[in-house]
Copies of this chain bind each other. A is one copy, B any other.
Amino acid sequence: MVDAIKVLAVRGAPAIGVAAAMGLVVALEHALDTSSPQHSARDLLPSLAAELEGARPTAVNLRWAVQRQLRVAATVDDAQLLPTLRAEAIRILEEDRAMCDAIGQAGAALIPHGGTVLTHCNAGALATAGIGTALAPMYVAHARNVPFRVFADETRPLLQGARLTAWELQRAGIDVTVLPDSAAASLLRSGQIDAVFVGADRIAANGDVANKIGTYPLALAARTHGVPFHVCAPWSTFDPATARGEDIHIELRERDELALAGDRIVLPTQVSVHNPAFDVTPRELVTSYITDRGIISPPFH
Contacts and interface: CB of A to CB of B under 8 A. Distances in A.
At the interface, is chain A mostly helix, strand, loop or mixed? mixed
Given A159-B261, A166-B268, A268-B170, A213 B183 contact: yes
A259 B264 CA distance: 15
How many subunits of this chain does the assembly comprise? 2
A43 interface: no
Interface stretch (A44-52, A81-89, A95-103, A149-157): A149-157
Interface stretch (A70-78, A133-141, A235-243, A270-278): A270-278
Interface in A143-176: 151, 153-157, 159, 162-163, 166-167, 170, 176
A186 interface: yes
A177 B272 contact: yes
Given A156-B156, A182-B182, 19 more contacts: A155-B182, A162-B266, A163-B267, A170-B268, A177-B272, A177-B274, A178-B273, A178-B274, A179-B273, A179-B274, A179-B275, A180-B181, A181-B181, A181-B182, A183-B214, A186-B276, A220-B220, A261-B261, A263-B264
Interface of A: 151, 153-157, 159, 162-163, 166-167, 170, 176-187, 189, 213-214, 216-217, 220-221, 224, 258-264, 266-268, 270-276, 279-280
